[in-house]
């Protein structure tokens, strides 16, 4: 961790990223409050929700383009300037009386900003290989996860204060200013990145795709992603299992809400307090796990960590079936700690195993797979809560976690047997 703090280039890029994240958090809070000024806020809320969901579908495309982009440093700078410009336009529009057309403009800006942010993130992937050494990658990612989580608390709190003190127009300009600050930091770092790339040039994807249609190229890239994953056994096992863990984990808050609805003894003080405590427990656990990733979890095998998470999820859903809130919170806390330790390990493994010329493409494909699992799970749960009681749904997810744990253990044993035979 000390090496991370002493890496000035890494810390500067982290600061740049956090500035733009603060602007995004503030803008989202402001936009959700702004739509309430409309005569029919439901339409505005629906548009904002849609703008937050659509970028899920563009991740893979942004990864493909990022791998094909030659001048990554200047392009990153360009994405920051692009977001600066669109939020200045939004700020000018918010000088008029609140209206649906302004919300529509703000939603479109939010959509393009999120897509541009995806592109920027994948552009930085191969640069990160040169900023952080392989042996320091887990520590860097653990620090980033913990620091980001802690800062998000501050972002939410300060955002609520700024919304009360500033006009919506000034808030849009404030968001634009965060991207200006990020661009200025990146401009200052440009000579350092230029030197790094001169000493160690980035390998570019040789697949130009000039003779292919867009959809055909995406299908080909996705097929190549799956082939790469299948060629790395530890990645294949971990990806499928973590996808399942994410799919199950994304339902926890909804499961708590449905259990609160059916069982009054599952409530601490009141429903709102209970939900807040659940969120805080998971948040604190995730931060602790990020810290422990560089100490207690440093030499623990990734698949063992994932099995531990599954055991804890089984424990959590058992508590849900028994509607024991304190047992559920304890299970959730330890599961969140383990999850906080797994995420940096998994990300570091991706950087280590995947060729840099395909890093953004395959990385975005993995992100898409992980997110799709969450979407499918939430969609299924949205139907289940209508037709089944909370205890039955908890029991179903308990069985799902058990099945996933059995699969992971069997896959790990099979992998170890193969390794033994080869040895």
Domains along the chain? 2-204 (1.20.1250), 221-422 (1.20.1250.20)
Task: Give the model's pLDDT for residue 419.
Answer: 47
Q: Which residue has the higher pLDDT, 295 or 388?
A: 388
Q: pTM of this prediction?
A: 0.66
What Å distances lie between residue 158 and 1, 25, 170, 171, 176, CA to CA? Answer: 28, 10, 15, 12, 17
Q: 156 is written with which tokens?
A: 């939410």
- Of the chain, the percentage scoring pLDDT greater than 90 comes to 8
Burial class (CB in 10 A: 0-12, 13-18, 19+), 300: middle
Alpha carbon dihedral 215, 221, 226, 228, in 10-degree steps, equals 180
Burial class (CB in 10 A: 0-12, 13-18, 19+), 393: buried
Task: Give the model's pLDDT for residue 301.
Answer: 74
Instruction: Give the pLDDT confidence of 203-257 residue by residue, as tens digits.
Output: 665 554 444 555 676 677 677 777 777 777 667 777 777 777 777 777 777 778 7
Backbone phi, then psi, for 22, in 5-degree steps? -65, -45
Ramachandran area for residue 209 (φ above 0: left; ψ -120 to 50: alpha; else beta)? left
Look at the block and give the residue holding tokens 């449905």.
258
């Amino acid at each position: 961790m000390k090496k991370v703090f002493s890496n000035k280039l890494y810390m500067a890029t982290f600061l740049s990223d956090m500035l733009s994240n603060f602007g995004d958090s503030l803008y989202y809070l402001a936009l959700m409050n702004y739509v309430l000024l409309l005569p029919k806020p439901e339409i505005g809320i629906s548009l904002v929700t849609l703008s937050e969901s659509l970028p899920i579908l563009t991740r893979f495309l942004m990864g493909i383009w990022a791998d094909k982009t030659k001048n990554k440093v200047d392009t990153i700078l360009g994405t920051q300037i692009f977001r600066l410009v669109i939020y200045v336009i939004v700020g000018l529009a918010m000088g008029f009386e609140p209206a649906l057309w302004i919300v529509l403009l703000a939603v479109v800006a939010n959509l393009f900003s999120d897509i541009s942010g995806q592109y920027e993130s994948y552009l930085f992937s191969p640069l990160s290989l040169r900023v952080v050494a392989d042996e320091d990658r887990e520590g860097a990612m653990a620090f980033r996860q913990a620091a980001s989580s802690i800062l998000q608390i501050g972002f939410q709190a300060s955002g609520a204060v700024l919304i009360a003190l500033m006009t919506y127009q000034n808030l849009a300009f404030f968001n634009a200013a965060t991207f200006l600050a990020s661009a200025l930091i990146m401009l200052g770092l440009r000579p350092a990145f230029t030197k790094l790339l001169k000493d160690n040039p980035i390998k570019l994807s040789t697949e130009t795709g000039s003779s292919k249609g867009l959809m055909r190229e995406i299908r080909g890239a996705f097929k190549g992603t799956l082939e790469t994953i299948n060629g790395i056994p530890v990645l294949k096992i971990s990806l499928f299992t973590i996808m399942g863990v994410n799919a199950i984990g994304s339902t926890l808050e909804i499961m708590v809400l449905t259990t609160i609805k059916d069982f009054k003894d599952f409530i601490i003080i009141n429903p709102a307090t209970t939900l807040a405590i659940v969120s805080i427990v998971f948040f604190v656990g995730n931060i602790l796990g990020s810290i422990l990733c560089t100490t207690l979890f440093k030499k623990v095998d990734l698949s063992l960590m994932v099995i531990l998470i599954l055991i804890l999820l089984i424990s959590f859903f058992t508590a849900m079936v028994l509607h024991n809130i304190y047992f559920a919170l304890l299970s959730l806390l330890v599961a969140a700690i383990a999850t906080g330790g797994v995420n940096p390990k998994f990300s570091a493994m991706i950087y280590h195993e995947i060729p840099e010329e395909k890093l953004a493409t395959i990385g975005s494909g993995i992100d898409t797979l992980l997110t799709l699992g969450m979407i499918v799970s939430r969609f299924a749960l949205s139907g289940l809560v209508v037709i089944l009681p909370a205890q039955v749904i908890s029991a179903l997810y308990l069985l799902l976690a058990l099945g996933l744990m059995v699969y992971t253990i069997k896959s790990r044993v099979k992998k170890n047997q193969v390794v033994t035979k080869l040895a």
